[in-house]
Chains A and B, each alone.
Chain A
């Protein structure tokens, strides 16, 4: 099951590993993405800190860490070809995987229907 943040990120939990990306709604707002900078593998992220930076044809945007944890893998494919995020934001366009400090924190995030209500 996926969870969502108010910053338009999705989180898919598998054990204590959370895969994180941005939503189709976010991608629609951003337009074509031309550059992405991901966190380093091994980096310890604190919820709310800038984890990644995106540049679309329009502007730069920060992507915030939705939870505390350690980066265990990043999606190099989107670094090589940022447009993959536009093409498949909810799956192939994932950003990074985080080993959560406390997997139960995920429960506090929005479920899909709450997120869909948020974006109207």
Chain B
């Protein structure tokens, strides 16, 4: 009997254990935090070759328009998400945010136009709430189907293309944020050229019964190694990507979170489908006039990592914090500590110098542009 016995498993849990994964509870699932290589090596391997991640704990949801017109599902989803969903072409996806009436963030997600329906990928910890939210607001227009019989595998890194193309050569023609039907190990998969590491790569939705066969086939490539959640976190942090629950939540607006790029012009003031999403007044007002605080990169000057919850001060006032770290740790690619957090708008411009207070001691840090690494997406 292990401590993880009461946790949910994914279609790849048995393989994760067999591969030596150190299993920990995450969002109710037993997930590998690392394999034998350890977080540092797994991180660097993903940047240098390719890493395979089990992300099957994430939610996969289909929005099927009752009218059979995908445009109607797109317009319906735009009532909950301040993104241009209607403008998304078949075979393309984009990042979006579920907002609440106060302009806070309920979850972040990927939205794909699959031709006759929309396909969403949402965070594991939020998926039950997201499905309920969709059902409460979109049931008149869409059938909302949570796919519980599929796994999700991320293959990330500069060698992801060659490893996946060995199974299906056509994936080499996909561009960043393309989504396509691809047959892999005989299974009907949905492949997106995207990820959460800053590297080129793919996220593959695969029928549960074929997930292990697909993972084994990919791991059979000499450049592919299994990677745990520990490295997934340091990879996304270096790439400046938000972790829901840490960097964004119902208490942060998309503008405070520096996610205004996820609100396309058609949804902004003067756009043809201006507003019409929860919290639009607050969010569009902040977009125009500025938010009181902003999410920024934070680079410690020394070697001491600054972690979530660390208060930030100005060099001449150690009593009134002007910000707080929301994600922080060691960045193996930079071989230095990296962090992100919120600071009052007046201190958000790089390279503003601030002080992080760690264990009662003051450490100098600088506001830094995000991402910390050069993202290597295949845009062309």
Listed in ascending order, the chain A residues whose CB lies under 8 Å from chain B are: 31-32, 34-35, 37, 53, 55, 57-60, 83, 86
Asked whether A31 lies within 8 Å of B34 as measured between CB atoms, the reply is yes
Given A31-B230, A35-B330, A57-B230: A83 in contact with B40 (beta carbons within 8 A): yes
Closest residue to A55 on the B side, CB-wise?
Answer: B305
19 further interface pairs, Cβ-Cβ under 8 Å (given A57-B230, A57-B330, A59-B307): A31-B38, A32-B39, A34-B305, A34-B330, A34-B337, A35-B304, A35-B330, A35-B337, A55-B304, A55-B330, A57-B40, A57-B234, A57-B332, A58-B33, A58-B230, A60-B305, A60-B307, A60-B359, A83-B40
- The 4 A-B pairs of least Cβ separation, nearest first, read A34-B330, A57-B39, A32-B40, A55-B305
Instruction: Specify which of A31, A35, A57 lies most central, judged by the most chain B CB atoms within 10 Å of its CB.
Output: A57
A83 to chain B, nearest CB (A): 7
- Kindly list chain A residues whose C-beta atoms are within 8 Å of the C-beta of B39: 31-32, 57-58
Interchain Cβ contacts within 8 Å, total number: 38
Interface of B is mostly: mixed
Asked whether B329 lies within 8 Å of A57 as measured between CB atoms, the reply is yes
A79 to chain B, nearest CB (A): 8
Return the contact of B38 from the options A32, A35, A37, A59 (Cβ within 8 A).
A32
Q: 19 A-B residue contacts at CB 8 Å? A: A31-B34, A31-B39, A31-B230, A32-B38, A32-B40, A34-B330, A35-B330, A53-B359, A55-B304, A55-B305, A57-B39, A57-B40, A57-B234, A57-B332, A58-B39, A58-B230, A60-B307, A83-B40, A86-B38
Q: Is B303 close to A, CB under 8 A?
A: yes
Q: How far is the CA of A59 from the CA of B308 in the complex (A)?
A: 10
Q: How far is the CA of A31 from the CA of B39 in the complex (A)?
A: 7
- Kindly list chain B residues whose C-beta atoms are within 8 Å of the C-beta of A53: 359
Q: How far is the CA of A55 from the CA of B306 in the complex (A)?
A: 10
Give 1 or 0 for each of B27-47: 1 = CB within 8 Å of chain A CB. Answer: 000000110001110000000
Closest residue to A82 on the B side, CB-wise?
Answer: B303
Closest residue to B303 on the A side, CB-wise?
Answer: A35
Considering only residues 198-248 of chain B, those with a C-beta below 8 Å from chain A are: 230, 234
B25 to chain A, nearest CB (A): 14
Closest residue to A58 on the B side, CB-wise?
Answer: B230
Asked whether A35 lies within 8 Å of B305 as measured between CB atoms, the reply is yes
- Kindly list chain B residues whose C-beta atoms are within 8 Å of the C-beta of A57: 38-40, 230, 234, 329-330, 332
Give 1 or 0 for each of B308-341: 1 = CB within 8 Å of chain A CB. Answer: 0000000000000000000001101000010000
Q: How far is the CA of A59 from the CA of B329 in the complex (A)?
A: 8
Q: How far is the CA of A1 from the CA of B329 in the complex (A)?
A: 37
- Kindly list chain B residues whose C-beta atoms are within 8 Å of the C-beta of A37: 304
A67 to chain B, nearest CB (A): 22
- Kindly list chain A residues whose C-beta atoms are within 8 Å of the C-beta of B329: 57
- Kindly list chain B residues whose C-beta atoms are within 8 Å of the C-beta of A32: 38-40
- Kindly list chain A residues whose C-beta atoms are within 8 Å of the C-beta of B305: 34-35, 55, 60
- Kindly list chain B residues whose C-beta atoms are within 8 Å of the C-beta of A31: 34, 38-39, 230
Q: How far is the CA of A34 from the CA of B333 in the complex (A)?
A: 12
- Kindly list chain A residues whose C-beta atoms are within 8 Å of the C-beta of B38: 31-32, 57, 86
- Kindly list chain A residues whose C-beta atoms are within 8 Å of the C-beta of B307: 59-60
B358 to chain A, nearest CB (A): 8
